[in-house]
Homo-oligomer: A and B are copies of this chain.
Amino acid sequence: MTLPLLTPADLDTDREVRWCPGCGDFAILAQLKQALSEAGVPREKLVFVSGFGCSSRIPYYLNTYGFQTVQGRGPAIATGIKIANPELQVWVVTGDGDGLSAGAGHLIHAIRRNVDLKILLFNNEVFGLTKGQNSPTSRVGTRTKASPLGSIETPLRPLSLALAAEATFVARTVDVDVHHLTETLLRAASHRGTAFVEIYQNCKIFNDGVFDYATDKSVKEEHTLHLEQRRPLIFGRDRNMGVRLNGVVPEIVQLNNGNGNSAGSSNHIDDLVIHDESGDDATLAFLLSRLSFPEFPECFGVFRCVDRPTYEGQLLGQIAEARQAHGPAKLDELLAGDETWTVA
């Protein structure tokens, strides 16, 4: 293991952190610093890019290189940075509004290109900074000042979209689960390619409690499922429920034995779906991305993690290839072109 080069405090800036009291962003910022300090990338190689929104203030609160840009365009700008200098570790911080409203197109294209970006989408299911309108992830029926009779739009599921955009790394975590959050960020940091992480984040002011089912200690274990590589999908306080497939249709089963050890029973642990984040096909991850409260437990952890060459790697590879093929680039020769004539 590399020794930590940074402490979380090294990442503090002298700016006052300004979110509403109780906002989930505080926890995310703290764990982000924690993860960065553990990830071992020197501070000067870190770049944080964001768009606009409460979540997008993150770059101002981290003593790294940072660029808060404009609504939804973070992924494009971050891609430019990686193309200029692939040595940098570039993080994109976005929100459900920033990243999925104006920014959906850019997000998809960054992901399919597999630019080596760590994209964190803070999903609070609302436009926070503009004072609480419904966002592309708001649930149907959400009442806001912009939708006084309730939102009528089917919400996007960020992870489904990322998977359809051919993501190589897709994960989900939540603001209050500090350990899981840090671990997930660390996994994202170590992925080569676009790592897309959805973070459930509580907006205290405009959408308070929308994730209570997944965070409230009294119920969360019944409604969430932690993915572990090559392990069956088991959840519940007593770990006595599992997810099984009927064809490609998921269903919840009660395990006959809490530990899943009772052999020969009909609802046997061996019938459960075994998680595989690294399969060739994204279908399993897609299926998991669609499990949602209240019918199903919602999954946390790494849905998908596969290898594919990065965009900037290939782009620079072609440049190297061209240089190899043509020998060292001579500007005079280029200026002269194929055909010249001389006037004495």
Contacts and interface: CB of A to CB of B under 8 A. Distances in A.
A101 B109 CA distance: 8
Interface stretch (A13-21, A23-31, A208-216, A247-255): A247-255
Contact of A161 (B103, B157, B165): B165
Contacts of A102: 105
A108 B104 contact: yes
A152 B164 CA distance: 18
A207 interface: no
A340 to B, nearest CB: 24
A112 B156 contact: yes
Contacts of A131: none
A52 to B, nearest CB: 16
A74 interface: no
A108 B156 contact: yes
Given A108-B104, A164-B163, A153 B311 contact: yes
Contact of A283 (B106, B114, B283): B283
A146 interface: no
Contacts of A282: 290
A322 B150 CA distance: 12
A281 B250 contact: yes
Nearest to A312: B152
Contacts of A283: 248-250, 283, 286-287, 290
- Band of interface residues on A: 35 or more
Given A112-B136, A136-B109, A154 B308 contact: yes
Nearest to A317: B152
A114 B140 CA distance: 13
Interface in A153-198: 153-157, 160-161, 163-166
Interface in A272-315: 273-274, 279-284, 286-287, 290, 308-309, 311, 314-315
Contacts of A249: 279-281, 283-284
Contacts of A103: 105
B247 A154 contact: no
A-B residue pairs, 7 tightest by C-beta: A164-B164, A105-B105, A152-B314, A104-B105, A160-B164, A283-B287, A149-B318
5 contacts: A104-B108, A108-B156, A112-B153, A249-B283, A283-B286
Given A152-B318, A160-B164, A248-B287, 20 more contacts: A102-B105, A104-B105, A104-B108, A105-B105, A108-B156, A112-B153, A149-B318, A149-B321, A156-B166, A157-B164, A161-B164, A164-B164, A248-B283, A248-B284, A249-B283, A249-B284, A250-B281, A283-B283, A283-B290, A286-B286
